[in-house]
Each structure stands twice: as C-alpha cells, then as structure tokens.
Amino acid sequence: MPASPPSVPPRPLEGLRVIIGVCAGIAAYKAAHVVRGLTERGADVRVVPTKASLEFVGISTWEALSHNPVRTSVFEDVDSVAHVRLGQEADAVVVVPATADFMARARMGRADDLLTATLLVTRAPVILAPAMHTEMWEHPATRENVDVLRSRGVRVIEPASGRLTGTDTGVGRLPEPEVIVHYVESVLAAGSRTCDLEGTRVVITAGGTREALDPVRVLTNHSSGKQGAALARAAYVRGASVSLVLAGSHIEPPAGVDVVRVESAKELAAEVRERESSADVLIMAAAVSDFTPEPSRSKIKKKAGESGLTLHLVETEDILRGLVERRQAGERPFVICGFAAETGDEHSSALAHATRKARAKGADLLAFNDVSENAFGADTNALTFLDAAGEIRGATRGTKDEVSHAMLDHVASLLKRERG
C-alpha cells in the first residue's frame, strides 16, 4: 500500500501582495519574523523600510527574507513610478514597528519617503503595529494621532505590555510576530466586512478545561484554543469589543482582546456569568468537561495487587443551556452560539448527534464539526451551522480565520434581526 503523501500546510495568503513598512525602532528586528510568517503563508511581501530603520536592520536582510528588491526613496526605481505602484497593487500595508514619529507623519498626510507616499496612494487595508516607550504611547499627541488614524479606517493594533528597551517595562511593547501575522491574515480574510460589529460586546470562550484529579494530574481534552482565538481576532477586526475566556491553553492571545485565563469548568462558568449581562454576543467555543472528579488532596499512588483505578465523576454545569434559560427570563446576551465537536458511532452519525444537541441546548447557532479523525490543533476547520430547531443554516470550510468570519456573518445577521 503506497504511503500517504505528507500534508501540505495551508497557504491562505497565496497570490496576495503585502507591503511591510519598517520604522526606526528597536523592535524592527521582530519585523523579520513577520515577513517570514507572511511569506510562509504564500504572500508576496515587499519590504519598504524608512532610511533610519536601516540602522537597525539592513537591506540585505529584507531582500533575503522577502525574495524581492527593497527601496526606501521615491527617487529609486523612478521609471516604474514605484511610490505609486506599490500602494496601488497592495492587498494590505502593514507597518511594523510603527513609531510615534511615523504615526504623526501619517496623520498629517506627509509623503516625504517611499513608505508614507505608499500609505497615501493605497486603498488597501492599512495596519499599524506601534512600539515605543510607555510615556510616548500615552502622550496626548500620540493618542490624538491614533484616534485620527483610526477614524480614517487605519487599523492600529494595541501594543502589548512587557519589557521595553533597557530595564523599563509597561505598555508599548510590540505584539509578538505571530500575533501580528494572524491579525493580518484575519483582516484579509474579512474582506469588505470591516465594521459590521462596531459597538458590539462579544464574549468568547476557548480552549479546553482541566479538571484536577490530584495535585499532579488533570483530566482534559485535545482542544488547542485556536478556533476560539481566531473567532476573537475576527470579531475584533470587525469592530467588536471582545473578551476571551481562555481555558487551559497556552496559545498567544489575539492583539486588542481582553483575556482572562481559567482552568476548570467551574471557573469558566463563573467568568461567563460575570460577563453575560453586559454582552451582546456570547460564543461558547471552549471544550468544557462534561464530568469532573472530586480531587484527592494528595497524589494518588499505585497500590500493589490492584490492576486499575476507579474514579467517581460528577456532571459539570451545562453552561450553554444555562445561558439560554437565563436569556429566556429576559436577560442578555442577545445572541448565543455554541459548538458541537462530535463523532459518529454505531447508533448515529456525527451530524445526527449534533442535531439533537442543537435542539437540546436551544442556542441561536450551533457550529458543528466532525472530529472523528481528531482535527484538534489543525489550522483549518469545517463547520456546519445549525439553528435551535436543528435545521442546517449553512456550512463553511477553510482556515480557522476564514471559518470564523463565516460564523460571524451569521452572528451579524442574528444581531441585526434582534435589534430590528
């Protein structure tokens, strides 16, 4: 029997052209990882560094990573009118890092180098990833510049908090390159769905809960949290204010999202209860344990002559069903969504199990995925959407960013209907 061909990772940005602007900040070296991440996803990356940024990372590095020539001045490659062509042909323009000086120049509409000229020409999404000292980020001039740029449709990613240059710590750290790459991917996957969730408060749960068996061991599941994180990122990209309740996962959370980490089903339920009354949308993407043990106070030991261990498990709270019941009593959120990871068995197909679950839970939307072949941790997904009656309302397949936007299309439609 011939061996199966190795799986090829998805290249969701195949054929798309992304301009990476690099400004003169110590975080410029991290832009190299962003370039690599985008090229690995199939993007045709053109790097446009400012002249001063070359003091941090040189042209040869950018050309080696992007496989394209690098220019910094409007007087280079004049015959092809590069300062116009780059912006016109771009599918996205991303500036990493965006310094306070650059954002001030961008706000004023300056065009005194190739990067600022490209920004004026392009009609593609513009994404800025700021990095600077906390005092600079919090200065009224910078805050005003950010507000003006955002009002024009520029996407300014919130900087992270952490170690800065020298011994300083605080807000102003560049988000991790992987976070920026995923953000760009989600923006491109969103297409024209730009601000349809503006002003909407969304709570999303993700990951897999961990139930303590003793001080050493836990009962858990295979959920990586990737799909829930992709949903949080997509909702933020579309203008929502997003809270992500992340269970038992160590993935890097999306930029701009409020994150709270939990472990057990009980902790997750408590966090959901705390946030549900102010949420417009709640999406239960976490894989919540159906059962939990009474944990031993000390490590459980093997005993001579015993061939096994019997555990007594009790059911955990049905968080999704509880949300629906409280909403029926007149409480928020307006839209409630759940997930059903199912497998078929000798009695029913995976879809039949999901259909029964949809009817039992009563959520507005249930995203069903067949995990018979254990798709946990993959970068792609296939979802079928069921309503509270178990009727199929659509299906989607693609990267987790792509299927997230497809799911949020249904959420946006439900919200519109709810709000009249």
The C-alpha atoms of residue 18 and residue 188 are separated, in whole angstroms, by: 10
390-396's contacts with Cβ under 8 Å and 24+ in sequence apart are 390/355, 390/356, 390/358, 390/359, 393/365
Known binding residue 357? Answer is: yes
Residue 299 marked in a binding site:
yes
- CA dist., res. 10 & res. 401, Å (int): 12
Q: Is 339 annotated as a binding residue?
A: yes
Q: Is 221 a catalytic residue?
A: yes
- Angle between the N-to-C axes of helices 59-66 and 28-40, in degrees from 0 to 180, rounded to the nearest 10: 20
Of residues 367, 357, 370, 361, the one with CA closest to residue 406: 367
Find the catalytic residue in 68, 145, 221, 374.
221
As a whole number of angstroms, the distance between CA 261 and CA 251 comes to 11
Phi, psi (degrees; rounded to nearest 5) at 6: -60, 145
Contact call for residues 251 and 224 (beta carbons, < 8 A): yes
Neighbours of 270 (CB within 10 A): 15
Report yes or no: 226 and 400 within 8 Å, Cβ to Cβ: yes
CA distances from 321 to 279, 317, 362, 368, 387 (A): 16, 9, 7, 16, 14
Q: How far apart are CA 19 and CA 28, in angstroms?
A: 15
Q: Which residues define the annotated binding site for CTP? A: 290, 299, 339, 357, 361
Looking at the annotation, which residues are catalytic? 221
Q: Which residues are annotated as a binding site?
A: 290, 299, 339, 357, 361
